A and B are shown apart, each in its own frame.
Chain A
Amino acid sequence: MSYFSLSRWLGIVAKEFIQLRRDRLTFGMIVGIPVVQLVLFGYAINSDPKHLPTAVLSADRSEFTRSILSGLKNSEYFSFVGEARDEREADRMLATGKVQFVVTIPQDFTRALMRGERPALLLEADATDPSATSNALSAINQLAQTALVHDLVGPMAVLGASPTAFEVRVHPRYNPEAITQYNIVPGLMGVILTMTMVLMTGLAITRETERGTMENLLATPATPLEVMTGKIVPYVMIGLVQVSLILGLARGLFGVPMIGNIGVLYLAVLLFIAANLTLGLTFSALAQNQLQAMQMTFFFFLPSMLLSGFMFPFRGMPGWAQTVGEVLPLTHFLRIVRGVLLKGNGFSEIGSEAWPIALFMLVVTVIGLRFFKSTLD
């Protein structure tokens, strides 16, 4: 007697598809979650906020500094809401969120400028919400080149000829690595896959246990291998549909570049889906009911969101958090997706991120098999 019958297996796959189709809510979630998330995240980040509140801490006033400040103002990104008396007040304004930026003009700025010493203008940014500041930050670098064009005339024109007469030292506070929209949209793909894949498989199997239909299934000659794999196949397809949906929207709505090979990306997606499905299966082997499967999923999902580099820049996290992050498949998947889409990485570059996912899957499978019961014991 065979331990794997294709006909039985197809029967289980077909049954799962039928049940999925009748489950409107789940079906809606499959399509709805990626679209809603992507649009929400994408547009929130796509917005190009202007007139951000800015304070000035000026220890030097001259024609030049006035030109620089009015240049900042004309860029429309900065709106001067006040002057800080000292550094402490400037700090407080940033900390309380009263301003997004503090422009500090150091003492002797003008003198140093005239001597051609390329003095530094300090721009402190509250980068907790990097999407709010990133465009402003790129604007200020442009500005450094053009702000003084009209002022540096005559003998001082030579100063303007050098790359820039002064330097802007940007000091993003609270969140040193600015995540851009290009960064987050591909990342969202990994987050959505983690969420739906782990949860759906976990639920699909505990549902049978909870409704008592598992007893019926186990009483037939169907083998555990057929049941388990048969039940997850539909979710592999769902994962692929979600990925395609996200990629399509990312491209169509946000113009996210796709430099690398899409085939490579889909292979990585399959590996990642497989890792999440095995985790879902293992959860379902451990959970007594759907609620527990759901709780376990969230217990896994939260650190994945927080420590993978999706929410916070990975390099900005403390050592222990990075260590935890390195274990999570999402961390590596995010690097792969960003690498493939944005940097054009191929197999040779993503290998070092693929094996930790595979290892995770192996370990989880071993645990799952230990706990999976082919009887009702």
Chain B
Amino acid sequence: MAANGADLVIDVHGLNKHFGAHHVVKDLALTVRRGEIFGFLGPNGSGKTTTIRMLCGLLTPDSGEGTCLGYDILREPREIKRHVGYMTQRFSFWEDLTIRENLAFVARMYGMPERKARVEQALTHLGLADRATQLAGALSGGWKQRLALAACLLHEPDLLLLDEPTAGVDPKARREFWEELHALSARGITVLVSTHYMDEAERCHKLAYILSGTMLAQGTADEVIASQALVTWAVRGGDLASLAVTLRELSAVEQVAAFGTALHVTGSEADALRQSLAPFMNDPALQWQEVAPSLEDVFIHLMNRAQATGPVVAH
């Protein structure tokens, strides 16, 4: 890996991107270390895909700078493409080519030596060796995703950029997919993966949360949770549905969410929250317990705060 002796595989800052008058990515900074599985979270339309495309040279930032694998994102996109495996949000392999033809084509685009052998190897590893002559378009969602991952890995990239790779994939396939990602990470391959799923967020070493183009939090799951200093109480028993309605009216309560048989009541001011909840805590039908806020509590908090304070408005 070139220049940036440090282990920063992605190191960009001040990235901006407009589409017409629409400011889609705002002063974004991102650092990802080698071997990390880095989760990139944010609601739809918050700029995740746009950011990933800027990282691999598919979009040119309006301003900003930085490196990806030590190569300058503005001046050396071709070098970056050579060493990055990018899996697009939508399946973007050729549905009218067979599985083998798709892999062979990719191998050729990267000018790989011993193409035939590597393609066969990938097919075997995928478990698709006996279906290699099927058209890619005939595959189910889960298999398409596995094919796409295999194709992205064919040229042995140092960095994987995965854009919502598990959208629409069943839980079992998702779990296998994540096991594969951890295996890759153990081999020193860095993975940046965007996702909507909280359980997937928790499987990442590091996280970043982006909203309307602005990075709101970055770090390990614990760091992200701690950074917002939220207090969450879990309450069980009684009529939780009507209790939720009542609690939402309290000014110290920021969010009330149902988790199975419990309600999670979250606020950012510990004392104010405790005072507001005091009358309900005396109700013998209810059992109260302070719990650690979940990632989801934190993300919803970030979203609400952004909406309330103005400059960053989700749409």
Pick from A1, A212, A221: contact of B92, CB under 8 Å:
A212
**Choice from B60, B78, B79, B93 contacting A213 with Cβ under 8 Å:** B93
Q: Known contacts A5-B111, A212-B90, A216-B88: does B105 contact A375 (CB below 8 Å)?
A: no
CB within 8 Å of B: which of A10-41?
10-11, 14-15, 18-19, 22-23
Residues of A within 8 A of B88 (CB): 212, 215-216, 219
Q: Which residues of A contact B93 (CB under 8 A)?
A: 213, 216
Instruction: Give A14 to B108 CA distance when docked, in angstroms.
Output: 11
Check if B53 is an interface residue, CB within 8 A of chain A: yes
Q: Looking at the complex, which one of B81, B86, B105, B111 makes contact with A15 (CB distance below 8 Å)?
A: B105
B296 contacts chain A at the CB level, 8 A cutoff: no
Residues of A within 8 A of B108 (CB): 7-8, 10-11
* Number of B positions contacting A (CB below 8 A): 29
Give, as a whole number of angstroms, the nearest-CB distance from B241 to chain A: 43
Cβ-closest chain A residue relative to B88: A215
Q: Is the CB of B94 within 8 A of A213?
A: yes
A221 adjacent to B60 (CB under 8 Å): no
Contacting residues, chain A, for B96 (C-beta < 8 A) = 18-19, 22-23
Given contacts A8-B111, A18-B101, A376 and B78 within 8 Å (CB-CB)? no
The answer to whether B79 and A218 touch across the interface, beta carbons within 8 angstroms, is: no
Q: Residue A170 at the B interface, CB < 8 A? A: no
Is there an interface contact between B109 and A19, defined as CB atoms closer than 8 Å? Answer: no
**Are the C-beta atoms of B56 and A219 separated by less than 8 Å?**
yes
Is A62 in contact with chain B by the CB < 8 A criterion?
A: no
B135 proximity list for chain A (CB < 8 A)? 22
Query: Is B57 in the interface zone, CB < 8 Å from A?
Result: yes
Structural contact, A220 and B97, CB atoms closer than 8 A? no
Query: Distance (Å) between the CB of B149 and the closest chain A CB?
Result: 13
Contacts of A216 in B (CB 8 A): 86, 88, 92-93
User: B84 to chain A: which residues have CB within 8 Å?
Assistant: 219
Bound complex: CA A217 to CA B135 (Å) = 18
Q: Is B295 an interface residue (CB 8 A)?
A: no
**Chain A positions within 8 Å of B90 at CB level:** 212
Shortest CB-to-CB span from B107 to chain A, Å, is 9
A14 to B115, CA, bound (A): 15
Range of interface residues on A (Cβ < 8 Å): 20 to 34
Q: Is the CB of B82 within 8 A of A221?
A: yes
Q: List residues of chain B with CB within 8 A of the CB of A375.
A: 57-60
Q: Which residues from 182 to 238 on chain B have a C-beta closer than 8 Å to any C-beta of chain A?
A: none
A222: Cβ under 8 A from any B Cβ: yes
The answer to whether A218 and B94 touch across the interface, beta carbons within 8 angstroms, is no
Interface string of B73-117 (1 = CB under 8 A from A): 000001101101010101111111100010001101111000000
A63 within 8 A of B: no
Contact with A along B121-163 (1 / 0, CB 8 A): 0000000000000010000000000000000000000000000
* Chain A residues in 8 Å Cβ range of B53: 376
* B106 in contact with A220 (CB, 8 Å): yes
Instruction: List the B side residues contacting A23 at CB < 8 Å.
Output: 96
| Alpha-carbon distance A11/B119, docked complex (angstroms) | 15
Taking CB atoms, residues of chain B closer than 8 Å to A22 are: 96, 135
Q: Shortest beta-carbon distance, B269 to chain A, in Å?
A: 45
Q: Would B111 and A218 count as touching, CB distance under 8 A?
A: no
Give, as a whole number of angstroms, the nearest-CB distance from B16 to chain A: 13
Chain A residues positioned under 8 Å from B97 (CB to CB): 15, 18-19
| CB proximity of B106 to chain A, nearest CB, Å | 7
Interface string of A366-377 (1 = CB under 8 A from B): 000000000111
> In the complex, what residues of B have CB within 8 A of residue A222's CB?
109
Contact mask B53-72 → A, CB, 8 Å, 1/0? Answer: 10011111000000000000
Q: Please, how many angstroms separate the alpha-carbon atoms of A101 and B108 in the complex?
A: 68
Contacts A18-B97, A219-B81, A219-B86; A11 near B57 (Cβ below 8 A): no
A to B CB contacts below 8 Å, 5 in the list: A22-B96, A220-B109, A221-B111, A375-B57, A375-B59
**Given A213-B92, A219-B56, A221-B110, 7 further pairs, Cβ under 8 A:** A8-B111, A15-B94, A15-B97, A212-B91, A215-B92, A376-B59, A377-B59
A interface list, Cβ under 8 A from B: 1, 5, 7-8, 10-11, 14-15, 18-19, 22-23, 211-213, 215-223, 375-377
| 5 interchain residue pairs of minimum CB distance | A11-B108, A220-B109, A216-B92, A212-B92, A219-B86
